[in-house]
Structure 1
Amino acid sequence: MTSLAVPVSRAAETLNAIRDGLRTHALLYSFALFVLTAAVLESQVLGIPLDLQMVMIFSGPVLLVLLVMMIIGLAKETVRLARTGHQGSLALALGAKLRDDYFTPTRISNGLHAVIFMTVYMVGYTFIKRAIPLAVPFQWDVTFMEWDKALHFGTHPFQWLSPLLDHAWITLLLNVNYNAWFFVMFTLWFWQGFAKHDTELRQRFLLGFTLTWFLGTCVLGTLLSSVGPCFYGKLIAGPDPYVPLMSWLDTANTHYPIWSLNVMDELWRNYETGTGVVNGISAMPSMHVGTSVLFALLGFASGHRWIGWLLTGFASLIFIGSIHLAWHYAIDGYAGAAVAFFGWWAAGKLVKWDRSLRGV
């Protein structure tokens, strides 16, 4: 085979893998198009344009993170080669790693379809989330506050936690962990989205991830529209039971930067003005908690129980942080976890059905 025939053959193999991937990912594409269609219909009903900026907001960071992860992977491979006493050319060895691992036809196909499907989904999802107060004005916060207090024996959950957590360094660590959710989310999404082989677990996670977000935010978040403890006093007239909590966060912020406060300010400002990229307020159910529970389910299903337990601990800290940082009522977290379990179960059923249709 000539030197020219090799890349031509590889390109043809990659194109065939991408073509075959259309059927492999048909279930995911169908769901993404369903969410996008729902967003288009809602935009027509509400009389506001569909915002397409999420195409770049999502795709840009995804490609950047992909590049960073590849660089990290090549660095790890370099260390591995050094430890094993590799005697050949490092450049050729890393080139083989790229060719035989990162740029295999199946991985390129899986990654491409995962990005396209997720981008289409995000355009629909983010519009529906931002449109929540227009579709159903925020009206559940007093009810959720009362339910939260009643369920926890007449005491607000943050009051149970305050004696243990009202130390500036603990608040900082919980805030760091809460922000680490983005890193964990992207890492797990890349792990499955850019997997070398398409598996039932991969499909289940990608569908379960988006299904959980859709059910939790677009459906329940709209029907049960609420802003959460941090915005309670801005929305509800009369006594604000969360003043002590917000006062503590302000105090902690004088010792260490509590980034949640800046995000809250930007979110509320964008809500009032109807502008800004960081937009869309939805407290019930908590998708930080819901998706973190989903991550733990993925960990256990992957066969690596240590990953499952590690992510279970992470989800527990996210739940505690969601209360202590005033983002959510405790019942938001309970509801988010329930949605995650349902989303994981439903995705499993749908993926099995789809794979049986394809004879997999």
Structure 2
Amino acid sequence: MRTLVSSLNEVAEELVKDKLLYYFVLLTCIVTYVVYGIYQDQVVYQYQFSDYLGRLSICLKALFFSWSFFFYFKMLIKKEERLFYSYYITLKGMLSPASKVVVFISRVMLLNICLANYTYLKQIIPDIHAFRFDELFYQWDLFLHGGVSPWVLTHELFSSPYWTMFFNFAYNLWFLLIWGSFLYFMWYCKNEYNRQSYLLSFFMTWFFIGGILAVAMSSAGPCFMHLLYPDKTMYLPLMERLSNQVDTFWLLQIYGGETSQLQEYLWQSYSSRSTDIGAGISAMPSMHVASSVLLALGAYQINKKVGILLWCFAIIIMIASVHLAWHYAVDGYVALVVTVVIWKVAQFVVGKVGVKSKTQEVAMDTV
């Protein structure tokens, strides 16, 4: 009985550490509910909490198998004789104490609610604030890049289809890195200040940038401009160039991860007003860039060398987003600035509630 009470107290203490996450997710629910209440007669999408929970569980399973695969080869390199025993001991250590598992499940649920709210706002953009700023962002791109569309510059610098293949691969690698980072900070990170700062920033980035700002700055993106506005053909040469590279480059055909397939899927989902998972389209600001910048900011706090590498990855994603016709360049610039602001705000708030940074802890220890 005493052990049970002790375990429950331990769980309660760990859950209290996440109070900022609970408050923020509650805020996302209130905002989403208010938006739904105002526009319920105009929207066609249904809220999909259960669907996203199922999709999230699939992602977690995929990441678990990826980790197992990595662990297996790591043990082979180390020439570990008792491979399965080491695997068992490592898993056992990861799943103890029990409070760690309970907190993990609660954080996964919080993430699912936040992402469901973000996705709902993204999907109803055409209903509550129809795409209207695409041409404006096109003009901004011209103004900032000497009268030349940024995609022209990227395709001059990276003209080979091998670069298009590389950028496609980077866009797919983004998924593993972003969700792997969330698992790291949710599960492995021992510095509570870094953990809470990253998780709060992660939630804020997806909801504020991917939801609120996406509604306020509604735009579809270069790959959809000519489909939404048949007289706006500024990006048709880019789309034709990408299509030609796919048709003529055998490696892109074999790879199957090229973006034109996903762009076609998203457009068909939009046209049919489908409620499929991930059906919404939105360009400004770029969530790929925002989440990649956040990944670099968080990683730099843990390991400066890894952080620098991930800053390079964020730059690659910013270039790729333009090169592959997903985004206007200004989508990435805005995402970069707002993400840094969110990161600083999250660090400030986490520090205000009493979670000390590593520097503060060292300073206190030396007093």
Q: Same fold (TM over 0.5)?
A: yes
- 8 Å CA contact 1:299, 1:311 repeated in 2: yes
Deviations 1:299-322 (A, max 9, x none): 1111x1111111011111101100
Structure 2 residue 325 is matched with structure 1 residue 332: no
- 8 Å CA contact 2:189, 2:195 repeated in 1: no
Q: CA deviation at 1:336?
A: 0.6
Aligned equivalents of 2:349 and 2:243: distance in 1?
46
- 8 Å CA contact 1:203, 1:351 repeated in 2: yes
Aligned equivalents of 2:285 and 2:52: distance in 1?
25
Query: Quick one: which amino acid aligns to residue 272 of structure 2?
Result: T
The equivalent of 2:292 in structure 1 is 292
Deviations 1:65-90 (A, max 9, x none): 3531552465257447745xx6xx66
Q: Relative to structure 2, which stretch is displaced further, 200-209 or 48-57?
A: 48-57
Q: CA deviation at 1:123?
A: 1.7
Give me the identity figure in percent.
27
Equivalent of 2:62 in 65, 79, 85: 65
Q: CA deviation at 1:149?
A: 0.7
- Change in CA separation of 1:74 and 1:179 when aligned onto 2, cut-off 3 Å: closer
- Change in CA separation of 1:63 and 1:213 when aligned onto 2, cut-off 3 Å: closer
- 8 Å CA contact 1:141, 1:228 repeated in 2: yes
Structure 2 residue 313 is matched with structure 1 residue 314: yes
Aligned equivalents of 1:325 and 1:313: distance in 2?
18
Aligned equivalents of 2:54 and 2:38: distance in 1?
25
Q: Relative to structure 2, which stretch is displaced further, 169-178 or 64-73?
A: 64-73
Aligned equivalents of 2:16 and 2:75: distance in 1?
37
Q: Relative to structure 2, which stretch is displaced further, 29-38 or 339-348?
A: 29-38
Equivalent of 2:38 in 45, 60, 69: 45
- Change in CA separation of 1:25 and 1:54 when aligned onto 2, cut-off 3 Å: farther
TM-score (norm 1): 0.88
Deviations 1:134-182 (A, max 9, x none): 1101000111111111111111111112222222111111111111110
Deviations 1:325-355 (A, max 9, x none): 0000111110010111011011101111223
Structure 2 residue 121 is matched with structure 1 residue 131: no
Deviations 1:17-36 (A, max 9, x none): 33222211111011112112
Aligned residues between the structures: 346
The equivalent of 2:111 in structure 1 is 118
- Structure 2 residues not aligned, in runs of 5+: 362-367
Structure 2 residue 138 is matched with structure 1 residue 145: yes
- 8 Å CA contact 1:59, 1:119 repeated in 2: yes
Q: How does 1:258-297 map to 2 (within 5 A)?
A: 259-275=258-274, 276-297=276-297
Equivalent of 2:236 in 243, 259, 267: 243
